[in-house]
Copies of this chain bind each other. A is one copy, B any other.
Amino acid sequence: MQLEAVTIDIGTSRPLVLLNTVDADELGAHPLDRVRIEHDEETTTGIVKRTDELVEPGTIGVTEPLSRVRGTVDVTLAGKPRSVRYIRRKLDDVELQPHELETIVRHIHEDRLSDIELGAYASAVYTNGFSLDETKHLTEAMSDVGQRLTWDAPVIADKHSVGGVAGNCVTPVMVAIVTAAGLTMPKTSSRAVTSPAGTADVMEVFCDVEFTTDEIESIVTETNGCLVWGGGVDLSPVDDKIIRAENPLSIDPPGQLMASVLSKKRSAGSTHVVIDIPYGEGSKVESLVAARKLADDLKRVGDHLDMDVSCAITHGADPIGRGIGPVLEARDVLAVLEGDGPESLRLKSVRLANILLEHCGVDASAVDALESGRALEQFGRIVAAQNGDPDIKSSDLEPGAESTTVRAERSGIATRVDNRQLCDLARRAGAPLDTRAGLVIHRTASERVEDDDPLYTIHAETPAKLAEAEALADRLEPIQVRSKADALVERR
């Protein structure tokens, strides 16, 4: 069918074509069918959207990714992409071949799948899982469609946390310790997605975090390390597209999780990786058994990719550090480097850094690096290379001036600290966009609490945000205090 192509903006980055119902019926094209468009001796495929109004009969509307389709074009019905057949095979619990996984990844990368099909992919992986072989091939395929960083050093250290823990900002401390020991550790991190602060958000309190590949290379050449935002480099770009399909369903199947983590590490050129797997209520990994299995599988897939992977299973139920939110976590990080700061953050950073040092075959002590001030000095060098002030002190970092402290209503033991609720509160107070917003936690689980003791303080940048967070705090109980002497919480 001959149609006149017009570009049309319907707020999508997908390669859609809009057909008037009359033309669509004539073609036999249903919603989400594909059409083949021949134009200028080129052939392009688009996903069909039918409309009575947006385009006239005789016209085909094309979205931005297809904007090179112009003039009079020839449109015919096309088959489904091969990747849909492979997704269907995974729904049938068939083990996928390397070329099938590679095709699925490529089609997701090129936005050739509809949301129905992406939902089916996420569901199929969730219900039927991936074998270790499939995970290995998927990891390679995901890594291959993006950018690859290369480094001169033979050993490139890296770390990753499977996530889910509030205020868990060990990365800057680890990078400072490990690079102070002479290792190369070019660390790319994410911004907050559903949390109150990602590592990139925390680092942005000190310095710039968005750099080009060339700029990153020169920072690493100068300082052995970097602490930059990963979104600025195109590492395993399909990962975000797959996560977009998993998020609405709140699923994160292990095979996909491993491929996501390791494909980014492979693309980043890392050779030695420590992966922190927090487990427990509220974290992604719920049981110790599941954490051990994930650790073993990550190491096996790493072997296949010639990457030395070591895993640290950690407690995920409690927050690490005292602060939650960009500035408050930055203050904890710098305090630890200064030789002070919350013990939980210092301890976890030291333990993970020691594992990474040992894993890379370096005979150095994390505690030495901290106590000697070498880690702090090294952190300052990285901050300076990333256009920040190397002489900043933790005491310079002030949280939002609007604040409320929530106090205990009885004496007892803090029995439960709910990460999820603390994160929700910090976000409601404005984090991560309001960098000074967030929480300071005064009591952690199993600590003794007296009546009217402060439990946590909410900081916000504006009275309105503080009021919103206070309203939420009234409905939550993120830190529960129980008296062992009384079976009742209260009587009314």
A residues adjacent to B (C-beta < 8 A): 9-12, 18, 25-26, 28, 30-32, 49, 51, 53-54, 80, 84, 87-88, 91, 93, 114-120, 122-124, 126-128, 193-194, 244-245, 247-251, 427, 433
Contacts and interface: CB of A to CB of B under 8 A. Distances in A.
A116 B127 contact: no
A12 B49 CA distance: 9
Given A25-B433, A49-B11, A244-B31, A117 B427 contact: no
B127 A119 contact: no
Instruction: With a 10 A CB-CB cut-off, give which of A26, A91, A115, A245 has the most chain B CB atoms.
Output: A115
A56 B254 CA distance: 39
Contact of A126 (B80, B91, B114, B245): B91
B28 A194 contact: yes
Given A11-B53, A54-B11, A249 B194 contact: no
Contacts of A88: 249-251
Q: Which of A51, A117, A123 has the most CB of B within 10 A?
A: A123
Contact of A127 (B25, B124, B245, B247): B124
Contacts of A9: 53-54
B31 A127 contact: no
A117 B11 contact: no
Contact of A26 (B10, B26, B251, B433): B433
Contacts of A249: 84, 87-88, 91, 116-117, 120
Contact of A119 (B10, B11, B18, B116): B116
Contacts of A54: 9, 11
Q: Which 6 A-B pairs have the closest CB atoms?
A: A119-B119, A115-B115, A123-B123, A116-B119, A10-B10, A11-B51
Nearest to A28: B427
Contacts of A127: 91, 93, 123-124, 127-128
A247 B122 contact: no
A70 to B, nearest CB: 20
B126 A122 contact: no
Nearest to A124: B123
Contacts of A244: 30-32, 116
Contact of A80 (B53, B122, B248): B248
A128 B128 CA distance: 10
A368 B194 CA distance: 72
A1 B116 CA distance: 31
Nearest to A8: B11
Nearest to A61: B11
Contacts of A119: 115-120, 123
Nearest to A76: B468
A169 to B, nearest CB: 19
A248 B84 contact: yes
A117 B248 CA distance: 7
A91 B119 CA distance: 12
A207 to B, nearest CB: 21
16 contacts: A10-B11, A12-B49, A28-B194, A84-B249, A87-B249, A88-B251, A91-B123, A91-B127, A115-B115, A115-B119, A116-B245, A116-B249, A117-B249, A119-B120, A120-B249, A124-B127
